[in-house]
């Protein structure tokens, strides 16, 4: 089955800096890669996703890149703000089935 590894487990940046979280997956058949943000005491929420036929996707300050050959994908947050502080989870699945999550990255943005 699919195995998703995520790093770093914790990340601390200064407000305004960029943050990058990386994930690798094992099953070359995986074709859908969502990212979730979980704020303290709240439910995980989908913030951006990418399909395997696309190499990069942007939504304002966040972007996701995918390298199918190397089987890794990354979340990029630019101009970080304190409200970006949360735990971020990557995931991989085949057509939205058998979704596997990474272990999470706790991002802290210091003002």
Partner 1 sequence: EADIYQTPRYLVIGTGKKITLECSQTMGHDKMYWYQQDPGMELHLIHYSYGVNSTEKGDLSSESTVSRIRTEHFPLTLESARPSHTSQYLCASSDQQREGQFFGPGTRLTVL
Q: Which residues bind partner 1 (CB under 8 A)?
A: 32, 34, 38, 40-46, 49, 87, 89, 91, 95-96, 99, 101, 103-104, 106
Q: Which residue's CB is nearer to partner 1, number 80 or number 85?
A: 85
Contact status, residue 7 vs residue 106, Cβ threshold 8 Å:
no
Q: Which residue's CB is nearer to partner 1, number 74 or number 108?
A: 108
Shortest CB 14 distance to partner 1, Å: 22
Which residues make Cβ contacts (< 8 Å) with residue 46, sequence separation at least 6? 34, 35, 36
Question: How many Cα atoms within 13 Å fall on the side-chain side of residue 50?
Answer: 22
């Amino acid at each position: 089955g699919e195995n998703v590894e995520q790093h770093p487990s914790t990340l601390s940046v200064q407000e305004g800096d960029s943050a990058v979280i990386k994930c690798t997956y094992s099953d070359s058949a995986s074709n859908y890669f969502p990212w979730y943000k979980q704020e303290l005491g709240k439910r995980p929420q989908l913030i951006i996703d990418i399909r395997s036929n696309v190499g990069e996707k942007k939504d304002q300050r966040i972007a996701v890149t995918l390298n199918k050959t190397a089987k890794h994908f990354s979340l990029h947050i630019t101009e970080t703000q304190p409200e970006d502080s949360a735990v971020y989870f990557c995931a991989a699945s085949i057509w939205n089935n058998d979704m596997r999550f990474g272990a999470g990255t706790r991002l802290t943005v210091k003002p």
